Structure 1
Amino acid sequence: MPTGAAAQPESLASQDFAVGPGGAQIVVSGVRQAYRGDFAISEIPQSIDVIASETLAENSIIRLNDALDLNASVARQNTLGGLWDSFAIRGFAGDENIPTGYLVNGFNGGRGFGGERDTAGIARIEVLKGPAAALLGRGEPGGTVNLVTKQAQIGDTFGTAGVQFGSFHRLRSEADVNISITEGLSVRLIGYAEDGDTFRDTVDEYRWGFLPSIGVAIGPDTRLTYDLEKTRVEVPFDRGIVVLNGDFDTVPRDRYLGEPGDGDHVARAEGHSLRLQHDFGNSWSLLLGGSIRDTLLTGTSSDPELAVSRQPIFTDGRSLSRQRRSRVYDSQQVVVRGEVSGEFSTGGLIHRILIGADHDEFDNLQDFRRVRPPSVGNNPSDEAAYVIDILDPVYGRFPLPTPLPQNNRLDQQSSTGFFVQDQIELTDRLQVRLGARYDDFTLRTENYLTDVDSERSDSRVSPQFGVVYEISPAFSLYAAYGEGFRANIGTDVTGRIFDPEVSKSMEAGAKLTLLDGALTGIFTLYQLDKNNVLASDINNPGFSVAIGEARSRGVELDLDGRLPGDVDVLLSYAYVDAESRSSVLDPNFSFVIEPGDPLINIPDHTFNMQASKTFQLGGREAKLGGGVQYVGKRLGATGTDFFLPDHTLARLFGEVELLEGVTLFGTIANLFDADWYANSYSQLWVQPGAPRTATLGFRAGF
């Protein structure tokens, strides 16, 4: 499929119907997306970018964090040693102590501890940017990500299977089979398994997943869909490398500074969702759904000590003292929702209305333990300081210290929301969107170590306004304003629950549709402001500190589609100016933040572009393409002057049909073997990016 055409569908409602003789509707076969209504992209006063599964496949992208690199508005954040997804949209990342939240088919699905999300089973990734909180609620003002999964297709049987061989002895197999059992019942079975080393010394990885879907057509207008998620990840905890005095060659990028004897961290996830869709006719429909997701992360690690007073490496340049840590992170999330959408007219005006409600319960248990090295001033032995020589590491040199209780806390969040949206067609060219959401939440924290229980409740109405004006079929202008409201989960080290995060967002832009719809684009200007922003408390892992107000403003350009000559292109550029707007002295004197200080891991300029062309080779279809990504310098540690350097990465990809239904494909990432750094928490916790990496595979379908 053409990358551009697949990546930017005109409608995001996912309404596909089987059609009988004379055009009569037979059965609902597609699945609508929640909070969406029935709108073409050009009608929505919002910036939306869509990354299709075809784009992921041709780049051999198998991790969500890697997929989001294709959109310049998304920046990588601290991933807890590669064990969860963490990213910022338009400069705002949310709570650093839990994974970044995202939606799966409209359900909150990203806050647990199930490991990095695999792209298997994803039909498309929607990057929903801007002030949409009036409907979605509880999200970051910069936007959110919605993963649309591959659903069982009613009345059809097809399948694909493939195998990949990659650098560092990586082997991956994947299958996707849709089976039509009866005219109204289909089952889709998706699974993957992956095993291999990584570019990091002594660090290997094993993961598997089973993602089936069942679709049932209950009559011609009703569909029931069930999805299961069952995944497991096993990988050693890895804090990356150290950078002393700004020298990023302090150690090689493959040097592991943990302890192999700690074994793997294991992340497990199990999720169930059930959705009912009914079309009443005359443009009215009903969506009901519920989901439950359990995750568990367990393991032990040896992490570099961050406190200068306990760290001898700042004296001799090679002796790295470490903490030994253990984690049991257990979460459960339950979500139910319902909405009605439809269309009616009043006084010559056309209204498209969306009304709904949702309820979300999230239980987050963190049992965190650690043992720290003593103060350097006490002249401890290497064993007492649990030292590793970064220039000549010897693993297993000392007995493994036993971590002691540090934080054992249960956070329970309960949220209920009601939302309404009305998009009014005032003329053939002018549409206005009015919306509001009411949120009510209760957050309770039980600290099992201090026996201190805390509770907080709050509520708020978040309005939304948007306007779209079509100058011509190929060009339209839009503007939007919205307010957001999100509970800050957890407490500071004293047990105090933080005030909720409140935000205001404004954006304006232009949308283009060129070459008879083959090429689409959007240009956006925005500004986001929010209060009660949190940052991680460096001296107290698992706790946060309030850093007050923050602001992000910037410019975006996204182009997607097909040029003359059948060249598929994808281009994304973002300029982001994200900074603190408050003066903060951390209570533990860990750092000082001044107004104007940049936010951590947010580059000022980001650019991604790729192009590909399909052609005939020996009578068979083939494709060849390439891309380039630029990421500007970023602050590497809050309240410091430590910055990660900018980097430019190039990639190549291609495929050729060997036999009918059998394809050979290959990719080369980081073509010129550049040194780059994905994210950082401090100069002693820097995550290096992968060197040149190749993938070769076969894919067969029927």
Structure 2
Amino acid sequence: MSAFPSRHKLIALAVACAFAPAAFAQTADKSDNVLPEVVVTSAPADGIARNASVGGFSEAPLRETPASISVITLEQMQERSIRTATDAVKYDASVQNSYNAVGLSDWFAIRGFTLDMGSNYRKDGMVILAHSAIPMENKERLEILKGLAGLQAGIASSGGILNYVTRRPTDTPLRSVTFEVRERGSIYGAIDLGGRSDNGVFGYRINAAAEDTKSYVQGSNGDRKFVSGAFDWRLSSRALLSVDMDYQHKSQLTVPGFQLLGLDQRLPTSVSGKTMLNNQTWSLPVTDDSNNLGVKFEYELNDNWRTTLQANKFELRRDDAVALSSGCTTPGEILNFGYCANGDFGLYDLRRDNDKRSVMTTQAMLQGKFATGSIGHELTTGLSTLNRRDNFADYLFNPTVGGLQGNIYTTPQRDLVLQPTNPVGLRRKEEEQSFFVQDVMALNEQFKLHAGARYTKLKRVQFNSGGGLIRTTDDDYVLPNVALVYSPSKTLSFYASASQGLEPGGEVPSGLPNAESVLDPYKSKQLEFGVKADISPDLSVSAALFQIKRHNEYAHASTNDATAAIDAYLTAGEQVNRGIEFAAQGRATRNLMLGASFVALQAKAEGTGDPDIEGKRIGNVPKFKSAVYMDYALPQMPAVKLNATWIYSTSKVFAPNSQIASLDKKVDGYHVLNLGARYATKFGNTATTFRFGVDNVFNKFYWGDTSNAFGGYLIPGAPRVFRLSTQFDF
């Protein structure tokens, strides 16, 4: 299904359904079987989440879930004018950017493991693809599960799961409009409409947004359009049908990162976070068109048992393009990874058009409560399927005329006549079937045993650009999960868990044979011990101690020389991440809300047999990171609320491959302070909220991301950025 017709069908259906309440009110069944009004569950008025669905198979209290979970609520996102997931996850120290270049997508690592773009990102528990930016306008909250998710998700990278929970229809009419201006004149507008028919049978939620983007990096301009609809029908007192759909178009010139300088591989200096290396006259934007359609049917069999049927389809079409800065071609200083000592670099036309990726997931689930003697059971069992298709071309990788170079300080213009991109073909198809079961057993008033397992069967076939077979995977896996929770009181819980996950397999880097194909899946293992406590009705704290082991995958160079090229992508030994997390959130006083997140993490390669990486720190993983934030309502002026966020990270290693890892290049840590304010008032009957914010108040330059993606790049953090918005609630 192409993006163009899907877009128009989606918009037409959203508009039609938005005006349907009256019709449904006239025709709906008015018998006693109609469901009573259901209140949409979200964070309470204080904006603090106390439940999440990402830790299991249904929404459950955070304190009772034996896993480390954080939730960013809609109110928290509104108060700080958060428009992207990259901005949202700043409040969880366990989450780290992973090649979050301006104009691209929101890619992350959790607990030191880079998330897989095709399996670790979920929408209402169902797989979506993170190759494009995920819109936030129709999201009620962002749930972050830290650690293995084999039982919940099957195939997923070790770091954890990001689950985007969609906004649902409201029981009272909702009419909200937001306008915002940002750095260099970026203009943004959004609407949020919700309500129900008179008899409550039909509900709707419509979100739409448009943005004219002028990034803080001059030249990285673009535009974005988004529309979504979420609808539900109360078919009877026990049956609920929900449908949600969205479409997004996004086009923007992306901002490449930096490489190291010279044969001695020095960090670039005297550069700015506003530097645009993709500023050639022939530079083209990255353009994404994505469609999403989800359907969910819930039926209560009786007071103790219910069943859920769910399906979701996500489609993406992408044109990828960048004037790529990479390597050095100066005689005597030729580098495959790294710029020349004076800042010169090789300049390439890197493009491919018409990527088409889709994933279809389904799930059927039965949940119920019963007792065997004195032991209470909460049983979940179900089946799920996944069907994925990736169609893409090999990248066109052409140097500028005569191999002329660019420079990070002068950014000269170079001539190039654009050539046609390579043909698109089917490169990967994947089918996954799973059976899962979990039983939460209440052994007595203090102890609960969580025991479960997922059986997953995977068929994966990968092809090269000519249609030739690269690799076939046909295997099955059993992923057990067990946890014991001890609750000496209603406000305190201790837990211990052991689990296995299923890694999707690492992706072969560009420049090697069979680039962008993935290795076979394999198991990972995790042990975790944690404590969660409600210090007061308004303040909660948690801590977790964990160890995760998985295969160590890395790009290898044959010699310990900065001029050496990567010659293989290897699996050797284990990557072992050990750490401790702490989090606190709640209301310290009537007017002061506080939050804090800390993580101390050791990430090393062990048992590799390669002296260049054995025992070395894993790249892009700080030893310590923290995020502390507050919201304060002025007692004398309750309409005014101030907020502040302080983010701190220690140094990280820049290790795109083994020979650079052996050089032990460290990137300094950083402090960043963000401030904001909100003023709420009324104009007539219209509630109006003004919000102002400034990020990176002291305009500090820092390397926020030292990713090993695409051969290894350093991404500067954003400089000082201002924003001003107005929200009208009618």
TM-score class, shorter: 0.7 to 0.9
Is 1:297 the counterpart of 2:326? The answer is: no
Tell me how far apart the structure 1 counterparts of residues 231 and 341 of structure 2 sit (CA, whole Å).
Answer: 61
Give unmatched runs, 5+ long, in structure 2: 1-40, 558-562, 657-661
Q: Deviations over 1:587-628 (max 9, x none)?
A: xxxxx852222222111111001111224566x622112110
Q: Name the CA distance, whole Å, in 1 between partners of 2:612 and 2:173.
A: 58
CA distance in 2 between counterparts of 1:70 and 1:365 reads: 36
Aligned-residue offset at 1:443: 0.8
Question: Which SS does the other structure have where 2:680 is aligned?
Answer: strand
**TM-score, structure 1 length as denominator?**
0.88
Following superposition, the deviation at residue 439 of structure 1 comes to 0.5
1:351 corresponds to: 377
Q: Which amino acid aligns with 1:347?
A: G
Which whole-Å CA distance do the structure 1 matches of 2:535 and 2:640 have between them? Answer: 26
| Structure 1 match to 2:624 | 605
Aligned 8 A contact 2:55 2:65 in 1? no
> What is the aligned partner in structure 2 of residue 457 from structure 1?
474
- Is 1:423 the counterpart of 2:440? The answer is yes
Deviation at 1:583, TM superposition (A): 3.0
The 1:364/1:465 distance shift into structure 2, 3 A limit, reads: same
Partner of 1:594: 613
Using the alignment, how far apart are the partners of 2:337 and 2:87 within structure 1?
A: 35
Counterpart-to-counterpart distance in 2, 1:2 and 1:496: 40
- Looking at structure 2, the residues matched to 479 and 312 of structure 1 have their Cα atoms a distance apart, in angstroms, of 44
Cα separation, 1, equivalents of 2:467 and 2:663: 32
2:132 matched to 1:115? yes
How big is the shift at 1:385? 1.3
Aligned to 2:72: 51
Could you tell me how far apart the structure 2 residues matched to 1:640 and 1:475 are?
47
The residue aligned with 2:719 is: 691
- Aligned match of 2:504 in 445, 470, 487? 487
Which amino acid in the other structure matches residue 327 of structure 1?
R
Is the aligned partner of 1:317 residue 2:342? Answer: yes
Shift of 1:405: 4.9
Q: TM-score, normalised by structure 2?
A: 0.84
CA distance in 2, matches of 1:543, 1:127: 33
Counterpart for residue 669 of structure 1:
695
Q: Is the 8 A contact 2:324 2:350 kept in 1?
A: yes
Letter in 2 for 1:563: A
Q: Distance in 2 between matches of 1:6 and 1:149?
A: 20
d(CA) in 1 for partners of 2:516, 2:51: 47
Mapped contact 1:131–1:480 kept (Cα < 8 A): no
Post-superposition offset of 1:470: 0.9
Q: Aligned partner of 2:654: which letter?
A: G
Is 1:510 matched with 2:538? Answer: no
| Structure 2 CA distance for aligned equivalents of residues 10 and 391 of structure 1 | 49
Deviation (angstroms), 1:218: 0.7
Q: Offset of 1:318 from its aligned partner?
A: 3.5
RMSD: 3.0
1:625 — aligned with what?
643
Aligned to 1:228: 245
Give the SS at the match of 2:255: coil
Mapping 1:78-477, distance limit 5 Å: 78-79=99-100, 82-95=103-116, 98=117, 101-111=120-130, 115-153=132-170, 155-182=171-198, 183-244=200-261, 245-258=265-278, 259-306=280-327, 309=334, 315=340, 317-328=342-353, 329-373=355-399, 383-395=401-413, 397-400=414-417, 402=419, 405=422, 410-449=427-466, 451-477=468-494
Alignment partner, residue 26 of structure 2: none
Q: Deviations over 1:156-214 (max 9, x none)?
A: 31121110111221111111000323420011110111113112131112112112111
The answer to whether structure 1 residue 647 and structure 2 residue 667 are counterparts is no
SS at match of 1:602: coil
Aligned CA distance change for structure 1 residues 453 and 318 (closer, same or farther; 3 Å): closer
Contact 2:652 2:669 in 1 (8 A): yes
Deviation at 1:279, TM superposition (A): 1.9
Conserved 8 A contact 2:135-2:248: no
Whether the aligned pair in 1 keeps the contact of 2:555 and 2:566 (CA below 8 Å) is no
- What is the distance in 1 between the residues matched to 2:337 and 2:435? 55
Call closer, same or farther: CA 1:158–1:88 in 2, change over 3 Å.
same
Distance in 2 between residues matched to 1:412 and 1:217, nearest whole Å: 37
SS in structure 1 of the partner of residue 410 of structure 2 = coil
d(CA) in 2 for partners of 1:541, 1:594 = 14
Letter in 2 for 1:135: Q
Distance 1:698-1:229 versus aligned 2 partners, 3 A rule: same
Q: Distance in 1 between matches of 2:635 and 2:409?
A: 52
Greater Cα shift, 317-326 or 431-440: 317-326
**Partners of 1:7 and 1:665 in 2: CA distance:** 17
After superposition, the Cα gap between the structure-2 partners of 1:362 and 1:100, relative to the gap in structure 1 and judged at 3 Å, is closer
CA distances 1:529-588 after superposition (whole Å, capped 9, x unpaired) = 012646699999999553552111100001011012431111100011112224377xxx
Q: 1:78 to 1:497 in 2, by over 3 A?
A: closer
Cα shift at 1:383: 3.5
TM-aligned CA distance change 1:124 to 1:42, over 3 Å: same
Structure 1 gaps, min length 5: 14-32, 374-381, 586-591
- Paired with 1:313 and 1:428, the residues of 2 have a C-alpha distance of 61
Alpha-carbon separation, structure 2, partners of 1:526 and 1:80 = 30
Shift of 1:487: 3.0
Q: Find the aligned partners of 1:427 and 1:673 in 2 and give their Cα distance.
A: 55
Aligned in 2, Cα 1:205/1:624: closer, same or farther, shift over 3 Å? Answer: same
CA–CA distance in structure 2, aligned partners of residues 280 and 443 of structure 1: 37
Contact map agreement 1:273 1:289 (CA 8 A) in 2: yes
Higher mean displacement: 420-429 or 539-548: 539-548
Trace 1:518-667 onto structure 2 (pairs within 5 A): 518-531=538-551, 533=553, 545-583=570-608, 593-615=612-634, 621-638=639-656, 640-659=663-682, 661-667=687-693
Specify the code of the residue in structure 2 equivalent to 1:77: S
Displacement after TM superposition at 1:67 (Å): 0.8
- Whole-Å separation in 2 of the counterparts to 1:568 and 1:503: 38
- CA drift of 1:51 comes to 0.9
Deviations 1:475-534 (A, max 9, x none): 22111110111332766638986231310101001111022x210111110000012646
SS at match of 2:113: coil
Instruction: Give how far 1:127 is off.
Output: 0.9
Distance 1:543 1:415, change over 3 A: farther
1:384 partner SS: helix
1:438–1:460 CA contact under 8 A, matched in 2: yes
Mapped partners of 2:376, 2:489: distance in 1: 20
CA contact (8 A) 1:470 1:477 kept: yes
Provide the rounded CA distance (Å) in 1 between the counterparts of 2:359 and 2:517: 23
Once the two structures are superposed, residues 109-157 of structure 1 have per-residue CA deviations (whole angstroms, 9 ceiling, x without a partner) of: 134xx5222321111111112344223211223321111110123x431
Any conservation in 1 of the 2:42–2:49 contact (CA below 8 Å)?
no
SS in 2 for 1:368: coil
Q: Is the 8 A contact 1:3 1:561 kept in 2?
A: no
Report if aligned partners of 1:7, 1:560 keep a CA contact under 8 Å in 2: no
Q: CA deviation at 1:453?
A: 4.0
The answer to whether the 8 A contact 2:55-2:67 is kept is: no
Which deviates more from structure 2 when the two are superposed, residues 547-556 or residues 476-485?
547-556
CA contact (8 A) 1:240 1:256 kept: no
- 2:461 and 2:469 in contact (8 A); partners too: no
Provide the secondary structure at the position in 1 that maps to 2:218: coil
Percent identity, please: 19
